[in-house]
Amino acid sequence: MWWKTVCVLLVAPSVLGVTELLHNSDFELKEFRPEDGGWYGNGCTADWSSDSYAGKHSVKVTNRVRKWGGMAYNVTLSGSKNYYFKAEIKLLNTHPGSLFTKVQVRTAVYSTSGSVKHALVSEVRFMEPLMWQVIGGDFSTPADVTTVQLYVQITDTDVNYLLDTSTLHEIPTIPNSWRAEADIAIEKYRKADLNIRALGSLPALKDLTVEVNQEKHEFGFGSAVHADMLVDSQYKAYQDFFYDNFEWGVIENKLKWKQMEWSEGHVDYDTALNAIDAMLKHGVKIRAHNVFWGIDENIPKWQQGMTGQTLWKQMERRIQGVIPRTKGKVEHWDVNNENVHGHFYEIGTGDANATMWMFREIHKLDPNVKLFLNDFGVVKDSHSTQAFYDQAMMFKNTPNVPLYGLGIQSHLFPPIDMSVLKYRLDQIVSTGLPIWITELDISEPLEDRKADLYEDVLRLYFSTPQIHGIMFWGFWDGKHSKPVAAIASGQSVTPNAAGQRWQKLFKHDWRTVDQARSLSTGQATIRGFKGRYSLSVKRNGVTLHNEEVILGTGGTNLTLSLAGIGDTIHVSNILIG
């Protein structure tokens, strides 16, 4: 129900504003010559095909002469606007001996000055043949644009393909009122009612109050941490800041295979597990990052060149080593980090679906841990939004792949166009899978500007109901992959302007504290952020009873059964239901 409603609130205006900018976008007309004013075959043969994604026809591309040979479209666009292009593609073959094909969408942008600029819009690095998948992404036009040529580029010229169901439209600019709308969504989706009913005689209830304070959020607010610093007494200020400002932690490096096993067979589990235990002791929940990372420079060095059975055995050993040791301690695992960008294990094993195997094997050993795909370039730029969508949908639609959710890294660099950020996010929201923002940082040197940017981005994410948590990718400029993005600085780990803004949101605006209600009528309602609360019943300021209450989706009804009268009244038998 809430899912449908958010579509109306946040997505529908975009849908209403869509005007299709492409002629013959569905390829139902047999018009593929340049003079037809639509898609045309450029350095290739373009035929009408009846193997279609939708409707009756698609276009079939063969005899490609160069990597850029294929379907192209010349479209006249307005300047200084954002556009989104998408199409369905089906590769008919791969280059002999290859499992995958790299497929790009590119633009040639012509302007009144006569200049031509070529740019990459998006890329699917590892596309499998014989299935329909989406390609595309967004781009912005310069002020003096005349024509934009959109084209599909595939380096392997012997790869033929079908193209269907294309679309090009302007990305609507979200109005300045978006923050107020986001706050309405936050109020609606992040809060619930705590209904308290007191059973007892009314005169006895006259002076009673109930007070609540939120102790934990249901939403995951967290940060990456350095394992060593969490257990080193020299870094007390670092630890204090972390425990005071976050409720979830993810170890930035020391759970990665390469970092745990610099030389083959010598595995350091302790560094990570000591930090995990320290966080658990403080009530912090843990994302684990990552079992595999199939980008060539991030695999253990000793693994380079391994293939086939040798590699499968190593992969089994990794899963059997790390998963039982973290079982019951961690809530999430990133399974094969940045898989959209690296396929070391697929290529090495020769199994295009090796990552699905990883998901299944990990799930067998720890059926409770939630398994994620986690990637970059999904909302930061246009390059991998659609590739991530394609992978998510393929995993979701394949039986017995225990994919729980999607991790969007979100390493952002200004300028940040909120309309475009939201548009890219909405592409991933449309998978219907739970989303976590896993590695948020914003590299902005001006402190006040950085504070505003963090607040805007956090507000957009927190107001999106399909997002269940946001992890910063570090917080302290003394140890940060991008110190300019830090929210705390110096030896004493002092919050900067962005850190103070974070504290205001996390501790105040998005938390329910010190809420008191009279019980004189026998009932009270407190609407608060979902999470765990401490509740106390007081009479004239004196606490009579304390209780832990969970406020979750759908609200919580609490019945207080009161016994005794007059000054000696006490509270007993608290029922939560």
* Closer of 193 and 455 to ligand NAG (Cβ): 193
* Closer of 129 and 483 to ligand NAG (Cβ): 129
Interaction of residue 398 with ligand NAG, rule CB under 6 A = yes
Sort residue 422 into left (φ over 0), alpha (ψ -120 to 50) or beta.
alpha
* Closer of 40 and 423 to ligand NAG (Cβ): 40
Question: Which position among 394, 416, 497, 505 is part of the footprint of ligand NAG (CB under 6 A)?
Answer: 394
Other Cβ atoms within 10 Å of 232 Cβ, number: 12
Interaction of residue 352 with ligand NAG, rule CB under 6 A = yes
Calculate the CA 206 to chain-centre distance.
49
> Shortest gap between Cβ of 259 and ligand NAG (angstroms)?
30
Other Cβ atoms within 10 Å of 206 Cβ, number: 12
Question: Which position among 13, 34, 324, 414 is part of the footprint of ligand NAG (CB under 6 A)?
Answer: 34
Interaction of residue 490 with ligand NAG, rule CB under 6 A = no
Question: Which position among 43, 402, 434, 555 is part of the footprint of ligand NAG (CB under 6 A)?
Answer: 555
Stretch that binds ligand NAG, among 14-22, 530-538, 550-558, 562-570 (CB under 6 A): 550-558
What are the Cα distances from residue 311, in Å, to 303, 315, 323, 499?
A: 8, 6, 18, 44
Question: Which position among 112, 557, 561, 572 is part of the footprint of ligand NAG (CB under 6 A)?
Answer: 557
Cβ 118 vs Cβ 148: under 8 Å: no
> Shortest gap between Cβ of 382 and ligand NAG (angstroms)?
22
Residue whose structure tokens are 């204090």: 240
What are the Cα distances from residue 287, in Å, to 276, 408, 411, 425?
A: 10, 14, 18, 21
Report the DSSP beta bridge partners of residue 373: 406
* Closer of 1 and 16 to ligand NAG (Cβ): 1
Q: Show the tokens assigned to 197.
A: 């009913």
What are the Cα distances from residue 100, in Å, to 347, 355, 537?
A: 9, 14, 64
Question: Which position among 415, 541, 554, 566 is part of the footprint of ligand NAG (CB under 6 A)?
Answer: 554
> Shortest gap between Cβ of 554 and ligand NAG (angstroms)?
5
> Shortest gap between Cβ of 130 and ligand NAG (angstroms)?
7
* Closer of 2 and 262 to ligand NAG (Cβ): 2
Interaction of residue 76 with ligand NAG, rule CB under 6 A = no
DSSP E strand stretches across 155-251 = 161-170, 191-199, 208-217, 220-225, 248-251
Interaction of residue 353 with ligand NAG, rule CB under 6 A = yes
Interaction of residue 525 with ligand NAG, rule CB under 6 A = no
Question: Which position among 149, 430, 515, 520 is part of the footprint of ligand NAG (CB under 6 A)?
Answer: 149
Q: How many residues sit in the footprint of ligand NAG (CB under 6 A)? A: 17
> Shortest gap between Cβ of 5 and ligand NAG (angstroms)?
18
> Shortest gap between Cβ of 186 and ligand NAG (angstroms)?
21
Interaction of residue 31 with ligand NAG, rule CB under 6 A = no
In whole angstroms, what is the distance from residue 161 CA to residue 253 CA? 41
Interaction of residue 147 with ligand NAG, rule CB under 6 A = yes
Question: Cα-Cα-Cα-Cα dihedral of 446, 450, 452, 454, to 10°?
Answer: 180
Report the DSSP beta bridge partners of residue 145: 111
Stretch that binds ligand NAG, among 84-92, 289-297, 312-320, 552-560 (CB under 6 A): 552-560
What are the Cα distances from residue 83, in Å, to 78, 150, 288, 463, 538?
A: 10, 12, 36, 24, 58
Beta-sheet pairing, 556-563 with 191-199: parallel
Residue at 244: amino acid letter: D
Stretch that binds ligand NAG, among 79-87, 88-96, 212-220, 553-561 (CB under 6 A): 553-561
- Rounded to 10°, the helix 385-397/418-429 angle is 20
Question: Which position among 74, 274, 443, 523 is part of the footprint of ligand NAG (CB under 6 A)?
Answer: 74
Question: Which position among 98, 167, 195, 523 is part of the footprint of ligand NAG (CB under 6 A)?
Answer: 195
Interaction of residue 213 with ligand NAG, rule CB under 6 A = no
Residue ranges in 455-484 that form contacts with ligand NAG under rule CB under 6 A: none
**Rounded CA Rg of the chain:** 27
Cβ 135 vs Cβ 124: under 8 Å: yes
Residue whose structure tokens are 């012509």: 110
> Shortest gap between Cβ of 168 and ligand NAG (angstroms)?
15
Q: Show the tokens assigned to 217.
A: 């959020």
Residue ranges in 109-138 that form contacts with ligand NAG under rule CB under 6 A: 110, 128, 131
In whole angstroms, what is the distance from residue 382 CA to residue 85 CA? 11
Q: Which residues sit at the interface with ligand NAG, rule CB under 6 A?
A: 34, 40, 74, 110, 128, 131, 147, 149, 195, 352-353, 394, 398, 554-557
